[in-house]
Amino acid sequence: MSINTVSTTSFPGQRPGTSGLRKKVSVFQQPHYLENFVQSVFDTLGDCAGKTLVVGGDGRFHNREAVQTILRMAAAHGFARVLVGQGGILSTPAVSCVIRKHGALGGIVLSASHNPGGPDGDFGIKYNIENGGPAPESVTETIYQHTESITQYRISDAADIDLQRPGAARIEAMDVEVIDPVADYAELMQQLFDFDAIRQLIAGGFRLCFDGMHAVSGPYAKAILEDQLGAPAGSVINAVPLEDFGGHHPDPNPVNAAQLIEIMAADNAPDFGAASDGDGDRNMILGRKFDVTPSDSLAVLAAHATLAPGYRAGLKGIARSMPTSQAADRVARALGIPAFETPTGWKFFGNLLDAGKATLCGEESYGTGSDHIREKDGVWAVLFWLNLLAATGKSVEQLVSEHWARFGRNYYSRHDYEGVDAHAANELMASLRIKLAAMAGQDLGHYVVDFADDFEYKDPVDGSVSKQQGVRIVMTNGSRIVFRLSGTGTEGATLRVYLERYEADPAFHHLPTQQALGPLILIAEQVAGIADWTGRAHPTVTT
C-alpha cells in the first residue's frame, strides 16, 4: 500500500446546503468529484493525526463505493481510527450517537435523506462535527472555498475492505472498525425510555406497524421494536434497506407512505403506525384512522415529556424552526420555559442544545429530536410516543384531542411545488419581498395583516445572524402564511408554502385541515401569484 497525490481541478457548485452537498448519482460518479469534496473537508479540519472519524450512510446507490473511497482518503490524512457501519450503513441519528459516545472528531454521512435513490436518483454527503451535529455555516463555507481552489487530493491505493462483517481491518497506519450499526444507538434508547412499560403494552395486545420504507431505519426498528420490545414479526414492514428504496420515495408523509396510510385506515388497523425516511432522521406518527402533524407531535411530546425516564427532570426549553406551527410555543408558556424560533436546518438547534437552553426541538418536515444527540431522530420519536401510550393507557387520537382541548388547535399544512423553474421561483420570492413593507394593516378579506417580513435570526449563543430565511405574513389573530425555497432538492427549486390558523374552540377542532385553511390558501395564491410564476394550479404534495 502507498499514499498517492492525485492532480485534480475544481468542480463548480460544490457548496453544501442546509443538509450537505446533494446532487444526482451521476454527478458524484464523475472522476474526482467525491474525492475533491472529501479532500476539502479534510483540508478544513487540518491536522487529523490520532483522531477518530465515523463514516456511514443510508445504503442508497453508490453508498458502498463512496465509503471505500473515504476510508482510503482518511488513511492518507493520518486518522488513527475510523468507525464504519456494517455494510456501510449508519442512520444519521446513529452517526451522531456514535460520534458523541466514542469522542470522534466528527463524521461523514452519506445520504440525500428523503430524496429518491437508485442509479438515476440522488446522492449526498455532509460532515458532522464533534458534538454530533451538522457542521455550522462557518465550516461548510470554508469547505466550499477549498472546493473552489483545489488542485490535488491524497488517497491510499489500498484494496477495498470487507464491510459485510463486524471486525477490524487496517489501511496504511489507520485502524478500521466495522461496527454493528444499531448497538450504540439501541443502548442510548434504553437509557431514555421505559422499555419494560412498552414491552408490557405490546404483550397486552397492543399492535403497531412501522414502515421502514426500504430505507436505513428498517434494521433499527426490527432490532428494537421486534427483537427487544417484543412486537410480533412483521410489525416492521419494508424493513430491508435497498439501494433504490424499492423504487419509492422514502419520505414519511401521507403521500409517499401510502401503504402505511392504507393499513392504518382499515377497520382492523393496528393501534399505532409510524414511518421513517431514507436516512432515519424523520418520522410520521399515526393512530388508527388518525394522523398526527409533526408540529402537533412536537407539542404533545413536550407536554408529556416527564413521563419518559430520560426527561423526568423536565425540559430546559423548546426550539422549533420558524415555518413549524406555534403549537409548541403554547406548551412552553404553560411550562414556564423558553421557546426558540430558528431558521430551518438542524444545525441551528445545535448551539441551543449545547448551551443547555433547549431540550426538545422540531421541524414541520417530520423531524423531531432532543439533546440526546445533535440530529433529528425518527426511531427516537416513535419510542417516545410508545412510552407515552404505555404510561397513559390512551390512544394516539385521545392524546392529541385532549391536547387540543387544553391548548387549542393550530391547523397547519405545507404545500410543496416541486421541480419549479429556479429562476421563476427566485423571482416569486423577490416580488414578495418588494411587497412586504406595504402589507401591514392590509385587509385581505377574512384576515388583516399584522406584519410581514423576511425572517432574520440572531443566534442567542454565538450572535451569528442568518438573513432571508423565509417570507412571513402574520395576521392580527396569529394566523400565518410563510413562503420559502427548499435547499434539499437536486433539480429545479421547491417552493414551500406553510399555512397556519389557531382555533381555541373545541367545537371546531375536527374540521378537515384544508377546509379550515381555505381562506389562507386563497390569500397565499393572490399575494404571491403562485400559478403565474410556477405554472402550477395545485401543489405537488400537500402535507
The catalytic site residues sit at: 113
* Contact between residue 413 and residue 365 where contact means Cβ atoms under 8 Å apart: no
CA dihedral sign, ordered 494, 348, 129, 372: negative
Locate the DSSP E strands across 157-279: 167-171, 174-179, 208-211, 236-237, 272-276
> 93: helix, coil or strand?
helix
Which residues have CB under 8 Å from 226's CB, separation 6+?
Answer: 232, 233, 235, 236
What pairs with residue 11 in β-bridges? Answer: none
Residue with cell 437536486: 490
Residue with cell 404534495: 541
Between CA 123 and CA 130, with CA 129 as vertex, the angle to 5 degrees is 140
* Amino acid making up residue 449: V
Q: How far is CA 105 from the centre of its chain?
A: 22
CA 400/CA 404 separation, integer angstroms: 6
Based on its alpha-carbon atoms, the radius of gyration of the chain, rounded to whole angstroms, reads 23
Would you call 465 exposed, middle or buried from its count of C-beta atoms within 10 A (0-12, 13-18, 19+)?
exposed
* Residue 318 dihedral angles phi and psi, to the nearest 5°: -125, 135
Backbone conformation region of residue 474, classed left if phi is above 0, alpha if psi is from -120 to 50, else beta: beta
Would you call 175 exposed, middle or buried from its count of C-beta atoms within 10 A (0-12, 13-18, 19+)?
middle
* Amino acid making up residue 229: L
Backbone conformation region of residue 199, classed left if phi is above 0, alpha if psi is from -120 to 50, else beta: alpha
> 171: helix, coil or strand?
strand
Pick the closest to residue 175 from 289, 241, 298, 83 (CA basis). 83
* Contact between residue 409 and residue 502 where contact means Cβ atoms under 8 Å apart: yes
**Helix, strand counts (H, E) of the chain:** 18, 26
Which residues have CB under 8 Å from 151's CB, separation 6+?
Answer: 7, 8, 9
Pick the closest to residue 266 from 215, 315, 207 (CA basis). 207
